[in-house]
Amino acid sequence: MIGKLKGTVDEIGEDHVVVDVHGVGYVAFCGARTLAALPAAGEAVVLFIDTYVREDMLRLYGFSTRAEQDWFRLLQMVQGVGARVALAVIGTLSAGDLANAVALQDKAMVARAPGVGPKVAARIVAELKDKAPAFSGAGGDESFGLKRDIGGGTAAAPVADAVSALVNLGYPRDQAAEAVAKALKEAGEAPDSARLIRLGLKALSR
């Protein structure tokens, strides 16, 4: 079982990299974000590896961070998500973006990944909503709890209304939720939606 590769980049393909480790070239399949962040050929590289062994196949999947690797494994717990789809998701969204999408139940963001349709995206955000914080490291994000409340439909009405208003103005849901989270700190006790919208817009303009 191979858990990590430390060597030099030999070549980079459309969906893989060849890592030279003491003269042996290992082919590791990677997401687009990982491939884009790789150093040039001949330079040092470290990849975390998941080894998949089947009767007719041995394949290595490479990740630049543990968070990417954790998400890769977690995504495959969802019905209908295999290695290819999981790699496409983490190749499109960072660990933080994916955590926010799950917290907000934002299936449209997940569906941006190639090969991920609306039904699969809906299953991902629904089935991973309770597991995402531990795997993403986003538990320390002050706005993350609010995003989970918004995604789960348990946020206070003024908060939900303020986020909805900012989204209707063209802001992404994640940015709108973060802006409202900042607004809540400034708004005092029991703010109404109008005040949260004003403070949210102020936060977005900074």
In total, the chain counts a number of residues equal to 206
Residue 110 carries which side chain, given as an amino acid letter?
A: V
- Give the contacts of 14 (CB within 8 A, at least 6 positions apart): none
pLDDT of residue 16: 96
pLDDT in tens, 116-149: 999 999 999 999 987 765 555 544 455 667 777 7
Rounded mean pLDDT, 18-27: 96
Per DSSP, the three-state class of 44 is: strand
Distances (CA, A) of 79 to 71, 127, 130, 185: 15, 9, 16, 39
User: Within 10 A of 83 (CB to CB), how many other CB atoms are there?
Assistant: 16
Rounded mean pLDDT, 16-43: 95
pLDDT in tens, 150-203: 777 777 888 888 888 988 898 888 888 888 888 888 887 778 888 889 888 988
What is the reported pTM? 0.73
pLDDT in tens, 99-111: 888 888 889 999 9
pLDDT of residue 133: 57
Per DSSP, the three-state class of 43 is: coil
pLDDT in tens, 30-70: 999 999 999 999 999 999 999 998 878 889 999 999 989 99
Per DSSP, the three-state class of 102 is: helix
